[in-house]
Structure 1
Amino acid sequence: MPPRDISELAHRLGRRAEAVCRRYLSNGRRVGNYWLVGDARNAQGRSMFVRLKGSESGKGAAGKWTDAATGEHGDLLDVIRESLGLADFRDVSKEARSFLSMPYVDCERGEPRSPAVPAAGGSTEAARRLVSMSWSIPGTLVETYLRGRGVTALHETGSLRFHPSCYYRPDGGPTETWPAMIATVTDLKGKLTGAHRTWLDPAGFSEAHLGRAPIDTPRRAMGELLGHAVRFGCCCDVMAAGEGIETMLSQRTVLPAMPAMAALSAAHLSAILFPGTLRRIYIARDNDPAGDAAVATLIERTNAAGIEAIVLTPQLGDFNEDLRLLGADALRAILRVQLAPQDVDRFMKRAA
Structure 2
Amino acid sequence: MASEASELARRLAREAEAVCRYYLSNGERAGRYWVVGDVHNTPGRSMFVRLQESSKGAAGKWTDAATGQHGDLLDIIRECRGLRDFSEVIEEARRFLKQPRPEPQLASKPVRSVAPAGSQEAARRLFAISGPIEGTVVETYLQRRGIARIHHGGSLRFHPRCFYRPDEHSATETWPAMIACVTDLQGRITGAHRTWLDPDGFDRIRLGKAPIDTPRRAMGDLLGNAVRFGVVDDVLAAGEGIETMLSLRYALPTMPMVAALSANHLSAMMLPSGLRRLYIACDADAAGDAVQATLTQRAEDAGIEAIALSPRLGDFNEDLHIFGLETLRAALRLQLVPEDVVRFLHSSMATAE
* TM bracket, shorter-chain basis: 0.5 to 0.7
Pairwise mapping of residues 72-87 of structure 1 onto structure 2 (< 5 A)?
A: 84-85=109-110
Deviations 1:252-309 (Å, cap 9, x if unpaired)? 1111110000000000000111111210010001011111111111011001100000
1:233 aligns with 2:230: yes
Q: Secondary structure at the match of 2:142?
A: helix
Q: Aligned equivalents of 2:302 and 2:175: distance in 1?
A: 42
Contact 1:153–1:256 at 8 Å: present in 2 too?
A: no
Matched, 1:158 2:179: no
Percent of residue pairs identical: 62
Distance in 2, Cα, partners of 1:83 & 1:228: 35
Query: Between Structure 1 and Structure 2, how many residues are aligned?
Result: 254
Query: In the alignment, which residue of structure 1 is the partner of 2:163?
Result: 167
Query: Residue 267 of structure 1 aligns with which residue?
Result: 264
Q: 1:285 aligns with which of 268, 282, 288?
A: 282
Q: Where do 5+ consecutive residues of structure 2 fail to align?
A: 1-25, 45-106
Distance 1:158 1:83 in 2: 33
> What's the CA shift for 1:185?
0.3
Distance 1:263 1:251 in 2: 14
> Are 1:321 and 2:342 counterparts?
no
3-state DSSP of counterpart to 2:219: strand
Residue type of the alignment partner of 1:188: L
Inter-partner Cα distance in structure 2 for 1:267 and 1:128: 23
Cα-to-partner distance string for 1:1-37 (whole Å, 9 max, x where unaligned): xxxxxxxxxxxxxxxxxxxxxxxxxxxxxxxxxxxx8
Task: Tell me what 2:113 maps to.
Answer: 92
**Would you say the 8 A contact 1:257–1:347 is kept in 2?**
yes
Measured on the aligned residues, the alpha-carbon RMSD in Å equals 2.6
Aligned partners of 1:144 and 1:204 also within 8 Å? no
1:173 Cα offset (Å): 2.9
In the alignment, what sits opposite 1:138? 134
CA–CA separation in structure 1 for the residues paired with 2:149 and 2:236: 16
Once residues 122 and 113 of structure 2 are traced to their aligned partners in structure 1, the CA distance between those partners, rounded to angstroms, is 10
TM-score normalised by the chain length of structure 1 = 0.67
Structure 2 contact 161–176 (Cα < 8 Å) conserved: yes
CA distance in 1, matches of 2:151, 2:250: 10
Amino acid across the alignment from 1:201: D
Q: What do the CA deviations read for 1:100-146 (whole angstroms, capped 9, x no partner)?
A: xxxxxxx9xxxxxxxxxx67xx1111111111221111111110011
2:336, 2:171 → 1: CA distance?
48
TM-score, with structure 2 as normaliser: 0.67
Larger CA deviation: 321-330 vs 151-160: 151-160
Unpaired segments of 5 or more residues in structure 1? Answer: 1-36, 49-81, 94-106, 108-117
Instruction: Name the larger-Rg structure.
Output: 2
1:201-244 deviations in Å (ceiling 9; x for gaps): 10122212111111111100000000100010111100100000
Partner-residue secondary structure (3-state), 1:350: helix
Please tell me whether residue 124 in structure 1 is matched to residue 120 in structure 2: yes
Letter of the aligned partner of 1:318 in structure 2? D
User: Aligned-pair distance for 1:47?
Assistant: 5.2
| Corresponding position: 1:221 with 2:218 | yes
